[in-house]
Amino acid sequence: MFDKKRLKERMNAHAAVSFGRTPEELDTKESHIAFSKAIMEEVVPLWTATKKRQEGKKKACYLSAEFLMGRALGNNLMNLGIDDEAREVLGNLGMNLNDIEEAEEDAGLGNGGLGRLAACFLDSGASLGYPLDGYGIRYEYGIFKQSIIDGAQVEEGDNWLEYGDPWSVRRLDEAVKVTFFDGPVLAVPYDTPVIGYGGKTVNTLRLWKAEAVRPFGFKEFNDEDYEGSVREKNNAETITRVLYPNDCTDRGKLLRLRQQYFFVSASLQDLVAKHIAKGLDLRAFPEHHAIQLNDTHPAVAVPELMRLLTEEHGMDWDEAFDITRRSLAYTNHTILAEALEQWPVRLYRKLLPGIYEIIRKIDRSLQSDLRSMGIRGKAQDRYRIIHGGSVKMAWLSIYGTHSTNGVAELHTDLLKETELRHWYDIYPERFNNKTNGITQRRWLKMSNPELSGLVTELLGTDGWITDLDLLEGLRDHADDEDVLLRLNSIKRMKKVQLAEHIRKVEGIEIDPDSIFDIQIKRLHEYKRQLLNAFHILDLYYRIKEGNGEGIAPRTFIFGAKAAPGYKRAKGIIKYINEIANLVNSDPETKDRLKVVFVTNYRVSYAEKLFPAADISEQISTAGKEASGTGNMKFMLNGAPTIGTLDGANIEIVEEAGEENSFIFGLKVDEIEAMKESYDPHVPYMEIPGLKRVVDSLVDGTFDDGGTGAFRELHDSLLKGASWHRPDNYFILADFASYREAQEAVGKAYKDRLGYAVKCLMNIAGAGKFSSDRTIREYADEIWSLEN
């Protein structure tokens, strides 16, 4: 039983030991560290008990380059079920739990949906009682902290570990060596508890930190070579310094390759060593371990496990490959051909010569298998793992595993029919779908307690917290005016809360009675933030010309980070902020249109944005978004989708009802049919108002600071640029349809009760999109795992 007196005593002790002061003398960041350490003492016995209970059971191991966990304290208190007790203890010390939670830095371990999905999966695994552990990298600085200066993105180090990490345990006793061509580095594990809802299961997120085998060269120092004395230390620690270093040069590419091999090798060495230490036969490895590769970042697991089995443990090649294949499974997260990861052979041979030779042998094994299927000569080229001077990581992942899954029904169908059709033709049994999901515990219960309370009241149970399908029962209240009014009231409350936060953080006043139109996701051309921006500018011009009658007041909110080397994406951020400056400062429009680009978008900001949204922007080019999970978080919080029939949007519309969504744009088959003949100049010239907004990129309306970014954006639409054809993502082709859908949103919103029905139906249909359902499917159909 939770002991409030003991927790207070621990808080006092940690304040004294960590900071030499009493709890009352600490600032909020120090209070967060001391209080989290006190809670950690409650967690450790549960953690230990879970490990003992899971002994001997088959374990799933989720290998991912990202784990976008978000803040830990509030989530852990909720899952332990001790929120109220914690609030009381802190109150007695003169502290506020909300203030302490806000003082916590977001863990800098991920950037986008890939990492947030991994975090949701770990939460679901623990909440459902499955033995599911995560393995990744303990990045020192994360991707970057984003500032917006003169409308442009500026990156600085995200020092999330400045005050330490009270939730992790350094396990130097389980460190392993990872060897590159230029010598070994030490991989030191840091273990973080992943607490399932109810606190019965506490799984582990193991993150590896790179350290030098010889951290200090005394001889070099004594010889006055001071830089040389710490060179090995600095080189080793660089491996885990930053998430996704810029890979525009060979040095950046080599660092990314080091990162990938580092965490994969450390994880597999750890798993194999522990398997053997238990007295188990390596031939039984697949019966005890299900290893999931989250995209191709961990694809080097295929040759690395082969290296361990054949070179370290003397196993026959064919037997080792059978064990490797049965142990590993692969999740594909992209349909974009250009995003199917591949690396120059010259870099692989330089950094990992031994691993490269194993990949060559795997490639020869593939050729032999293909010949046995009657695929010979040049017909093999499209399958070859090493071809055209590149190592193709997706091909390695498919060939070297027993399962390849997509992450939404459309995505999986497209993989089988287009990008991976040749693989599906020869290995149809390996392909399956696992539609992504989100954890309702963080994204509804914790981030929207007001709506959570209403849902529990209407259903007469809080069972939805672990069984989201129960939300179906909300459909019975679609005709209850009182319920709809209360739903609207909660939505406005969340909008007021967000407006206050934006006022404090961004210095911008926004109107809670306007439509909150929100697009928050990684900045990429295919996600089409530029389409949204063009529509905003079109609205502005229409209002200025006196043609804005009937346009409901709108607040457009963007949140996104562009990869540091992705110049076109950074140009889009600058363009959106130029539009914001124009619209927000014009007396004729500032009360009807407002544009906000929130800075440093991250999980803790998202927890405020999703509950406040009136409309969810999911406007990627059809066939380009694998799934999306932001669309599910919006849906769960009662925001209808304006979107294309892409990714999981299709399934969202099926569950919520097309009448409760705003669907527009070309479909996948329509894009395929017109792709070769499409001329973007046709919509550019013929769609009223479109030429004017597109030309704002180059006619002097806006200033890109002399970078040429706006001209390059303009050319990418009308002339094509770098690797792609003109208007590659059909922004101009979909503009008119998008504008019509936006007009439908404005009209629907005026009927406040009618719009509340749409919101309620979205919440009621969200049950399918729990990551609990996804994890059950992985456990049953890929991992053969029991809880």
φ, ψ for residue 642 (rounded to 5)?
A: -105, 115
Rg (CA), the chain: 27
Contacts of 732 (CB under 8 A, 6+ apart): 680, 683, 684, 687, 690, 694, 717
- How far is the C-alpha of 736 from the C-alpha of 74, rounded, in Å? 44
CATH number of 440-767: 3.40.50.2000
Pairing, β 328-331 against β 404-406: parallel
Burial class (CB in 10 A: 0-12, 13-18, 19+), 172: exposed
pLDDT average, residue stretch 194-212:
97
pLDDT recorded at residue 217 = 77
Q: Quick: pLDDT tens for 644-660.
A: 999 999 999 999 999 99
Under the banding of pLDDT at 50, 70 and 90, the label for residue 221 is confident
Report pTM: 0.96
Is the pLDDT confidence value at 598 over 70? yes
Burial class (CB in 10 A: 0-12, 13-18, 19+), 115: buried
- How far is the C-alpha of 769 from the C-alpha of 765, rounded, in Å? 9
Whether 177 is catalytic is: no
pLDDT recorded at residue 706 = 94
Q: Quick: pLDDT tens for 333-372.
A: 988 777 789 999 999 999 999 999 999 999 999 999 999 9
Closest CA relative to residue 595, chosen from 640, 635, 542, 535: 535
Out of 59, 392, 445, 527, pick the active-site residue: 527
Task: Parse the chain into domains and list their residue ranges.
Answer: 1-244, 248-436, 440-767
Kindly provide the b/e burial profile for residues 343-374, where b requires at least 16 CB atoms within 10 angstroms of the residue's own CB: bebebbbbbbeebbebbbebbebbbeebeeee
Token duo for residue 209 = 């930190």
Whether 521 is catalytic is: yes
Out of 430, 491, 633, 758, pick the active-site residue: 633
Average pLDDT score, the chain: 96
pLDDT recorded at residue 1 = 55
- How far is the C-alpha of 710 from the C-alpha of 450, rounded, in Å? 43
- How far is the C-alpha of 68 from the C-alpha of 134, rounded, in Å? 12
Q: Identical fold at 248-436 and 440-767?
A: yes
Q: Is 618 left (phi over 0), alpha (psi -120 to 50) or beta?
A: beta
Q: Quick: pLDDT tens for 278-336.
A: 999 999 999 999 999 999 999 999 999 999 999 999 999 999 999 999 999 999 998 87
Residues 391/610, Cβ–Cβ less than 8 Å: no
Whether 522 is catalytic is: yes
- How far is the C-alpha of 128 from the C-alpha of 787, rounded, in Å? 7
Is the pLDDT confidence value at 262 over 90? yes
Q: Quick: pLDDT tens for 672-717.
A: 999 899 999 999 999 999 999 999 999 999 999 999 999 999 999 9
The 8-class DSSP code of residue 14 comes to H
Closest CA relative to residue 713, chosen from 579, 545, 555, 543: 579
pLDDT recorded at residue 335 = 81
Q: Quick: pLDDT tens for 497-513.
A: 999 999 999 999 999 99
- How far is the C-alpha of 220 from the C-alpha of 476, rounded, in Å? 76
- How far is the C-alpha of 83 from the C-alpha of 336, rounded, in Å? 43
Whether 333 is catalytic is: yes
pLDDT recorded at residue 709 = 96
Residue in this structure with the two tokens 């005050």, named with its chain if needed: 163
- How far is the C-alpha of 412 from the C-alpha of 428, rounded, in Å? 12
Task: Indicate the residue type of 500.
Answer: E
pLDDT recorded at residue 721 = 80
Out of 289, 333, 442, 570, pick the active-site residue: 333
Whether 681 is catalytic is: no
Contacts of 53 (CB under 8 A, 6+ apart): none
Under the banding of pLDDT at 50, 70 and 90, the label for residue 224 is confident
- For residue 72, give Cα distances in angstroms to 104, 663, 735: 8, 36, 41
- How far is the C-alpha of 731 from the C-alpha of 644, rounded, in Å? 12
* Least-confidence region, from 60-69, 110-119, 265-274, 430-439: 110-119
Out of 10, 325, 522, 574, pick the active-site residue: 522
Measure CA 777 to chain center. Answer: 20
- In DSSP notation, 397-409 reads HHHTSS-EEESSH
Residues 213/141, Cβ–Cβ less than 8 Å: no
Q: Quick: pLDDT tens for 709-750.
A: 999 999 999 999 877 899 999 999 999 999 999 999 999 999
- Angle 263-164-293 (CA atoms, 0-180°, nearest 5)? 20
- Angle 346-349-354 (CA atoms, 0-180°, nearest 5)? 170
Out of 495, 521, 554, 592, pick the active-site residue: 521
- For residue 230, give Cα distances in angstroms to 168, 209, 218, 507: 26, 17, 9, 44
Element (H, E) at 775: helix 771-778
- How far is the C-alpha of 161 from the C-alpha of 403, rounded, in Å? 37
Residue range 248-436 in CATH 3.40.50.2000 = yes
Q: Quick one: fold of 1-244?
A: Rossmann fold (3.40.50)
Closest CA relative to residue 11, chosen from 105, 103, 97, 107: 97
Residues 42/248, Cβ–Cβ less than 8 Å: no
